Amino acid sequence: MHFSIPDTQEFGPDNSGSSFTGFNIHINGSFHCCLRYKQLHSLHEQLKRSLPTLALPSFPPKKLLPLTPSQIEQRRISLERYIQLVGQDPVLCRSELLRAFLLNAQQESSFTECREVSLDVFLMNGYRIVTKAFTTDCSSKVLEKACSLIDLPKEYTYYFSLYLVRNEPNGEVAIAKKLMDFEAPHISQKQWDDCKIVIRTSYWDANYDLELMRDRIALNLLYIQALSDVERGWILTSRDLSDQLTDLQARGNKREYLEIVRKLPLYGCLQFPRVCVDYPQPNTMATVIIGNRELNLLTHYGKKIQETKFKVTRIRCWRVTTIHNNEELSSNSSSESREPGGNLELSFEYLMAKNQLKWITIYSEQSMLMSVCLQSIVDELLNQKNGSDINNVQTHQEFAPLSYIRRDGSNYYITDSSSTDTLSSISDSNSTSNQQSNGSGKRPPPSNGTSSSSSSSSSSFIRRKLKEFNTTVRFKSGKDSVHNEAFEWIGDDDL
């Protein structure tokens, strides 16, 4: 997970009569929640108790007196560094306690009541699955419910994931983000205008297909995805092969269709819109394709297309940064790469030849998603090396009870990560109503009309933040890059 705290916001008096600072937490490229210092401190203490053998990063110390603006800024930087270290630790970032904390923090920050709704989940061909889910259901629960409605066997559920997909103005389809299990799809979908929740495979190694093709429903899901990718040009075919695939489609021969498509170079890859890259030369326009353990650049030279492959195992590290000065992009750069939110860049250090490393940069608003894809490929490689199958990787750990502290200081005790044990009601931190907790620790919902003007103001601020697409990772040096553990497998034969 990529964390950052790019800015803060000030809140009016809480139940104790004190004003406080909220720190805006961004995860994987977008605003996730707003938390105060003591909420993050509570998380740190609970992580220490639940993982006693793990050395946690040091937490920024408390201050007795009110903080000055410069001290608040220093605390922001310190908290950002702390939570980035948490996100980079493979044990901490997979902790069920952290997952439940972030899920509840998203609910509180978005002012979402826990209630049952109809949530539309789509297949890549546009088929709609109307799913009954709670507004606070995490991604895995929504996925399980959607897969159950189409009779997919439970053992195949986690071969798939939920994605947010949008239709571009030019008619193309773009993957906006992969929905992670620390977020609620109902809430996250509201952050992205005109995005649908779509089921796609969650793995990169096409050998996993062989297991899925043993089941009729799973095979049908693979066929629908492959057919969609071919039609959209994400999988390139020759004219003769295209005619053969069309004939197989007309005859409903899904298995043979898949057997042919699976052998094509771009099968199972994610394709990103054309962007500006600095390879093989500055200001080059290219299409980025990630999959098959590679990052590919399709560079357009008139009618000719040149393909350059970068093997993931030869990427030593990568980083996502913000272009604070737009002049960092040459004035000759095409406007195609300068979309709103396109001030992000993904840079990776690649082993071009023995003893020759080179940094290559991609300028794209989807840099964070590219980084997430690279990390998931590396994770899959490491899991395969350790002998783990895809279901073992996805299985949740036993849930440690979480005491969630709201911004207003009230406690909420969660004994399970299910939707029925997320926050039962949301009241703004600035609310002056003095509501008492009941025996279970759950606060009753606020009555209508109790929100103050300051509550409405902060609510509007949060909703504006939910619409933004800002940077999440502020790497200062190469030391803060994401290190690729699979890079250590490089041998002389690979050079």
Go through the domains of the chain in sequence order and give each one's CATH number.
3-112+394-413 (3.30.1520.10), 271-323+341-384 (2.30.29.30)
Q: In the prediction, which pLDDT does 286 show? A: 94
Angle at which helix 239-250 crosses helix 254-261, to 10 degrees, equals 160
Task: Pull the structure tokens for residue 460.
Answer: 């509007």
Measured between alpha carbons, how far is residue 43 from residues 75, 98, 344, 443, 465 in Å? Answer: 16, 8, 30, 20, 23
Using one digit for the tens of pLDDT, what is the confidence trace for 165-183? 988 777 778 898 999 999 9
Is the peptide bond prior to 69 cis by the omega test (within 30 degrees of 0)?
A: no
pLDDT tens, residue by residue, 226-250: 999 999 889 989 899 999 999 999 9
Q: What is the DSSP letter of 426?
A: -
Res 480: pLDDT: 65
pLDDT tier at 63, thresholds 50, 70, 90: confident
> Whole-model pTM?
0.81
189 close to 197: Cβ distance less than 8 angstroms: yes
**Mean pLDDT of all residues in 201-207:** 93
Cβ neighbours, 10 Å, residue 353? 8
Distance CA 418, CA 428 (A): 23
pLDDT value of position 305? 82
Supply the pLDDT for residue 93: 85
Proportion of the chain above pLDDT 90, given as a percent:
53
Give yes or no for residue 27 having a pLDDT over 50. Answer: yes
Total residues found in the chain within this entry: 495
Residue-wise pLDDT for 280-290, tens only, equals 999 999 999 99
Query: Quick check: 9 and 479 in contact, CB under 8 A?
Result: no
CA 120 to the chain's CA centroid: 20
Share the mean pLDDT of the chain: 81
What would the two tokens of residue 159 be?
A: 């071969």
Residue 250 has what pLDDT?
95
Q: How far apart are CA 235 and CA 232, in angstroms?
A: 8
